[in-house]
A and B are shown apart, each in its own frame.
Chain A
Amino acid sequence: MNRTIRRECAFLTFLALVVIGVMYGVPLARVAFGSLFSYQDFGASRKFVDLANYVSYFRDPSFSQSFFASLAFTIPSVILQVGFAFVAALLTRRRLPGFGALRWMLMAPYFLSTVVVVVAWRFFSDPFVGPLPAMLSWVGIASPDLRGPTAALPVMIIVATYEAFPFTYVVLLARLVQIPASLYEVTELAGANPWRTFAAVTWPQVSLTVGGLILLRILITWLKFDVPWLVYAAHARSQWGDTLAVFIYRTAFENLQTGKAYAASLSLVSAAWAVYGLYVLTSRQWQQKGVKFWSNGQRKT
């Protein structure tokens, strides 16, 4: 039996290595290797250039511009995604009649294509056929024109928030419903108000999840391509310029600077992995500290 198990294990490990190697290992090696070359004639010939592609990438004014454009896109998007999701999860964490359907409605946008979300928002806010400008004018608010280059960034933020909110909501809700009801009962008996209950029970239980979610959303939103690209399709380019993902795409497929696009990709992957690694290490330390606090009775809730 042991021999059979060993054989099965070896076969599956081999399969895993082949699949992961083909899917991620080969492309990553190609990125790392390719970033050291300059390509001519549509990649037909190449020349070793050492780290020149990296130097060219970091010195390119478009890099700093796209870096700040990504920052301007990512920070508000993630704050809104996590903020809205947290409030919605707090409101719907209890099992009340009708809340099942409500949760379903809140997570529905997750299942829609980004293109549908972009078209829906553009249609909804269109000054001629969309109801949003009319609704705003009914309550006496002048409707902003969401079609020009100045509106591209706000529209990108709205769309990114809209499509990512349900994912964040479900993860936070899953964590909130796991908090033992007895903890809330104890604080209620002690006469704590809702804020005190939140600070003493809810936040300590969900803070790590919120931290992890913020990081995950930053890493995903930071290099998001489809939202800026589709919003640009309808608007002129954003006055903030291209985001990093669009910059890489244009470098590779429009300007045909393959080596530079590889260098940009590898730099960004490395940065993402470094941030992720740092988070894993830090969160482990937090967890251990939390356990120590708990066991020493210093954080009784």
Chain B
Amino acid sequence: VAAEGSEVLVKRTAQNIAISVFGYFVALAILLPILWIVISAFRPESDIVGAPYDLPRRVTLQNFIELWQIPGFGHSLINSLLVACFTTIATASAALPIGYLISRYRFTGRRLLKTIALFGYLFAPAILALPYFQLLATFGLVDSLAGIVFTHVAFCLPFSLALTELIFRSVPASIEEVAMLDGSGLARRILTVVVPAARYQVAALLLLVFTISWKEFFFAFLISAGDRTRTLPVLLATLYGGESLNWHLLCALSTVLALPSVLILLWGRAIRVVPLVTAGSRG
């Protein structure tokens, strides 16, 4: 029996090693296009074009320096940061209280409210493009960062509500009772009791919203009309759609765009919130 058991163990270990090797091979193959672009971002332009398949021998930051000198790059970087930050703040300001409402109170129409909020999930950006554009035009917000923030909040709100409800449901209502007896108001209870009790999940949600806004292309492309309001994804698309492809700049800009997402992913992995980050969002 012992021999049979060790045979099974050996077989299972071999199986696990084979699965691991195969899994890492597939994962590397999946990441190869991205790794290639990041590695190329640090290679001289002459190497990218002249010796593309050689192992990188020279490392340079020249591509990033040249990128910085592109008219509008600095503006686009600041715009992207501002849009992502304000989208995160605005989405949290709307999703936290409404998610709290749906998770905590039992009232007539609760289910309907939840359904309506989640139906926003089924609005594809292309469908909302025209009404949003006209709505923003009415208020003079076309070609403004506020307009882009508005569309990003609308895009992020449905899944943020769904996640906030799940997060708040996991926080026991009893911990609020003391604060209520203390006479704490609604905002204070949400901000000082409920949110701290679920801080990692709320952090994950905020990271997700930030990332989605940072990488979003369509609404920024629609609302922005020039350098003043252009975000990094739109700048990258503009450079990519140009007459000649300057690969060294495209690689550097792609790396800059990917960097915050990678950092967030690493940090999210460190605090073990990544599964939650991707669980409720749309791709």
Contact = CB atoms under 8 A, between A and B. Distances in A.
A124 B36 contact: yes
A129 B34 contact: no
Interface string A168-203: 101101100000000000000000000000000000
Contacts of B1: none
For A17, A19, A31, A233, the residue with the greatest tally of chain B CB atoms inside 10 Å of its CB is A19
Nearest to B36: A124
A217 B122 CA distance: 11
A220 interface: yes
B36 A120 contact: yes
Contacts of B250: 119, 123
Contacts of B30: 105-106, 109, 162, 165
Contacts, number: 267
Interface residues of B, number: 83
Nearest to B256: A116
Interface string A99-116: 110101111111111111
**Interface residue SS majority, chain B:** helix
Interface of B: 16, 19-20, 22-24, 26-28, 30-34, 36-37, 40, 48-49, 52-53, 94, 97-98, 100-101, 105, 107, 109, 113, 116-117, 119-120, 122-135, 153-154, 157, 180, 186, 211, 214-218, 222, 233, 236-237, 240-241, 247, 250-251, 254, 257-258, 261-262, 264-265, 269, 274-275, 278-279, 281-283
28 contacts: A13-B107, A13-B113, A17-B113, A24-B123, A27-B131, A28-B131, A30-B131, A31-B130, A31-B131, A88-B23, A105-B30, A114-B215, A115-B237, A116-B215, A119-B236, A123-B36, A123-B250, A131-B36, A165-B30, A167-B281, A167-B283, A168-B283, A223-B124, A225-B126, A230-B217, A230-B237, A248-B126, A269-B127
Interface of A: 1, 5, 8-9, 11-13, 15-17, 19-20, 23-24, 26-28, 30-31, 34, 43, 88, 91-92, 94, 96, 98-100, 102, 104-124, 126, 128-131, 134, 162-168, 170-171, 173-174, 216-217, 219-220, 222-226, 229-230, 233-234, 244-246, 248-249, 252-253, 258, 261-262, 265, 268-269, 272-273, 276
